[in-house]
Structure 1
Amino acid sequence: MRFLDAAAVAALGPTGAVRAITDALRGGLDPATDTPRSAVGLAHGQFLLMPSEAPAAAGVKVVTVAPGNPARGLPRIQAVYLLFDGETLALRAVLDGTALTTLRTPAVSVAAVLPALPDRPLRVAVVGAGPQATGHVATLAAVRPLARATHLVRDPSRTPLDAVRLGSADADEALRAADVVVCATSARSPLFDSSLLRDDAVVVAVGSHEPDARELDAPLLGRATVVVEDVATALREAGDVVLAIAEGTLAAADLVPVRDLVTGAVPPPADRPLVFKSVGMSWQDLVVAAAMVG
């Protein structure tokens, strides 16, 4: 049995993680068959349990959410991943689950939107400055050169990144110019006016998995091709999608499963934005963990 700490998990790298996700989807993996995550209430927070199975392996990510931890100087969310042999169910490896999430989430996003990315240096606007924000920049840079990456945050003085204040003229200009916009925040309401975005913009939203929280406004989803990991999961957990449908700008029948875009069954749009809304699914952790362990 192996233990992979954060450095060992990161060693797969963005390119390897994107390749693992892409190969799995092209190889026949159907996210619709994945087991939904479940929550278990605890006295001081909750467990999130994310199990998944493939022919050669099975695994489960155990996530702890402790709302009181930040006041103690500890992370609010922590995780561990257990990887088992698919036939004997013997434990093969224990992985740093937080590092796995940090790697796999942007890998899924980039695998999803790669067919729509222009083949030139990208101008990227990233709302947020945390690990997922920087991870998406690094993963985009692994598949395309970046002309510029600008972080849009509420308080630029709190980050050493190249950042501008969200809502400022500079932030609006970054959104107008962006080939790719990434939203990786804990926001519960739309972060910006989507009329700023170009008709060929690619937008990724990964910040929430709750049906009443969203980072994107309904008009954007109404004028975009909306790609999701799995339609049923999005209708259950993706607030950006759920609320846009409730407001009448989007229909469930319009949603495109990511598998269809990655395999080429559905071509990327040529005349409208592409939005990829991700809530995170268990199969993603298993695919990337199995690629690390071999």
Structure 2
Amino acid sequence: MSPDQHHLAPDAPRWYDSRQILAAVGPRRARHLLEATLLDGFRPEADPARGSVAAGDGHMLLMPSVLGRWSGVKVASVSPGNSERGLPRIQATYLLMDTATLTVRAVLEGSALTTLRTPAISALAADRLAAPDARTLMVFGTGPQALSHIEAFADVRDFSEVVVCGRSPEKVAAAVEHAQRLGLAARAGTAEDVRDADVVVCATSAAEPLFDGALVRDAACVVAMGSHEPDARELDAALMGRAQVVVEDRGTALREAGDVVQAVAEGALIEEDLVPLADVVTGAVAVDRSRPRVFKCVGMSWQDLAVAVGVVDGTES
């Protein structure tokens, strides 16, 4: 390598592990980073479609995005059999680049970004869609995302009770204890408890509806984030058909969100009625409080990038 080439060689990118990421950006800041991105005029439909390649008994995902002077891509893998191997089902790495030169400036542990941005986008939607006086939060699921959503949602509403529903009594008990450690009154529940919930979070790997959508009150807000494949859903078509349905992006929802795809196929939901979250955040579309509000998200590349930039800015400022 010549002296000139050596001079032009970029510095090695900085590595951020999960501990550093979570220390730099908490649930509230993550939500504010996503909110600011939408208020600044970014439209999620500008994101390219998530690339998916079959591999082994799972698949690999490629998620690129550009936000002004920053660009990035998350490389993720989903391997359903990993739970039996003692490994995470989802693993990921994030490459953060400056847009001007596309030089990698940082490499981040991608799963921690997912842990932050998914409940953050859910909480941002719930903050706009849930009743101001919402008091009861019901959570379907007991995994990391369910726990993260409890914390993120507790920051946007003053809940007097958290009800947890799951298949494993031991994991439900652990989730209830997690909520209690956050200072929330919490208990185990059943699917029937959805009839009394003000806010419902679905954070499961279920392929079929978790409850009868007719039980959901008109005043309730439902957030479904567990499925991101067209043949899996957590909500039934009856609920989707009578709700105001908000999505990250129409095109993305119609490709990946089984809750949306199947409701449209069954004639319960019309594509044109899907409301982009950006329009709710900016106030371009009013919230319809005469019927349930559903937010269906699958996770998008811009969300990872916005949080990754927040991590780097927070540690270098």
TM range, smaller chain: over 0.9
Q: Which amino acid aligns with 2:230?
A: P
Note the C-alpha offset of 1:3.
1.7
Q: Which amino acid aligns with 2:308?
A: A
**Structure 1 residue aligned with 2:253:** 234
Choose the corresponding residue for 2:188, options 161, 164, 169: 164
**Would the aligned equivalents of 2:38 and 2:281 in 1 still touch at CA under 8 Å?**
yes
Note the C-alpha offset of 1:165.
5.4
Equivalent residues in 2 for 1:70-85, closer than 5 Å: 70-85=83-98
**Would the aligned equivalents of 1:154 and 1:165 in 2 still touch at CA under 8 Å?**
no
Call closer, same or farther: CA 1:256–1:213 in 2, change over 3 Å: same
Choose the corresponding residue for 2:243, options 201, 204, 224: 224
State how far apart, in whole Å, the 2-side matches of 1:235 and 1:108 are: 18
Note the C-alpha offset of 1:236.
0.9
**Structure 2 residue aligned with 1:120:** 133
**Structure 1 residue aligned with 2:289:** 270
State how far apart, in whole Å, the 2-side matches of 1:123 and 1:219 are: 22
**Structure 1 residue aligned with 2:66:** 53
Aligned CA RMSD, in angstroms, stands at 1.4
Choose the corresponding residue for 2:273, options 225, 247, 254: 254
Any idea what the Cα deviations from partners look like across 1:120-173, whole Å, max 9, x if unmatched? 36210000011111111100112222211111112223442225354xxxx41x
Q: Which amino acid aligns with 2:221?
A: V
Q: Which amino acid aligns with 1:46?
A: H
User: What is the TM-score when the length of structure 2 is the normalising length?
Assistant: 0.88
Choose the corresponding residue for 2:15, options 3, 8, 13: 3
Q: How many residues align?
A: 289
Call closer, same or farther: CA 1:120–1:54 in 2, change over 3 Å: same
State how far apart, in whole Å, the 1-side matches of 2:157 and 2:189 are: 26
Any idea what the Cα deviations from partners look like across 1:64-85, whole Å, max 9, x if unmatched? 2223322221112111111111
Q: Any unmatched runs of 5+ in structure 2?
A: 1-12, 177-186
- Which secondary structure does the structure 1 equivalent of 2:227 belong to? coil
Q: Any unmatched runs of 5+ in structure 1?
A: none
State how far apart, in whole Å, the 1-side matches of 2:134 and 2:215 are: 21
Any idea what the Cα deviations from partners look like across 1:9-41, whole Å, max 9, x if unmatched? 112111101100111001000001101111123
Q: Which amino acid aligns with 1:105?
A: T
State how far apart, in whole Å, the 2-side matches of 1:15 and 1:70 are: 30
Is 1:144 the counterpart of 2:175 in the alignment? no
Call closer, same or farther: CA 1:244–1:91 in 2, change over 3 Å: same
State how far apart, in whole Å, the 2-side matches of 1:13 and 1:231 are: 28
Is 1:198 the counterpart of 2:220 in the alignment? no
State how far apart, in whole Å, the 1-side matches of 2:250 and 2:168 are: 35
- Which secondary structure does the structure 2 equivalent of 1:111 belong to? helix
State how far apart, in whole Å, the 2-side matches of 1:219 and 1:43 are: 36
**Structure 2 residue aligned with 1:135:** 148
Query: Identity rate of aligned residues, in percent?
Result: 53
User: What is the TM-score when the length of structure 1 is the normalising length?
Assistant: 0.94
State how far apart, in whole Å, the 1-side matches of 2:224 and 2:72 are: 26
Is 1:91 the counterpart of 2:104 in the alignment? yes
Q: Which amino acid aligns with 1:232?
A: G
Q: Which amino acid aligns with 1:182?
A: V
Is 1:65 the counterpart of 2:78 in the alignment? yes
**Structure 1 residue aligned with 2:4:** none
Q: Which amino acid aligns with 1:281?
A: M
**Would the aligned equivalents of 2:58 and 2:80 in 1 still touch at CA under 8 Å?**
yes
Is 1:177 the counterpart of 2:168 in the alignment? no
Note the C-alpha offset of 1:92.
1.4
Any idea what the Cα deviations from partners look like across 1:39-75, whole Å, max 9, x if unmatched? 1233464321111111111101111222332222111
Any idea what the Cα deviations from partners look like across 1:222-246, whole Å, max 9, x if unmatched? 1100001111111111110111111
Is 1:188 the counterpart of 2:201 in the alignment? no
**Would the aligned equivalents of 2:43 and 2:278 in 1 still touch at CA under 8 Å?**
yes
State how far apart, in whole Å, the 1-side matches of 2:26 and 2:35 are: 14
Note the C-alpha offset of 1:99.
0.9
- Which secondary structure does the structure 2 equivalent of 1:143 belong to? coil
Structure of greater Rg: 2
- Which secondary structure does the structure 1 equivalent of 2:155 belong to? helix
Any idea what the Cα deviations from partners look like across 1:83-127, whole Å, max 9, x if unmatched? 111111121111111111011001011112212233336210000
Q: Which amino acid aligns with 1:288?
A: V
Q: Which amino acid aligns with 2:159?
A: L
**Would the aligned equivalents of 1:122 and 1:146 in 2 still touch at CA under 8 Å?**
yes
State how far apart, in whole Å, the 1-side matches of 2:78 and 2:52 are: 10
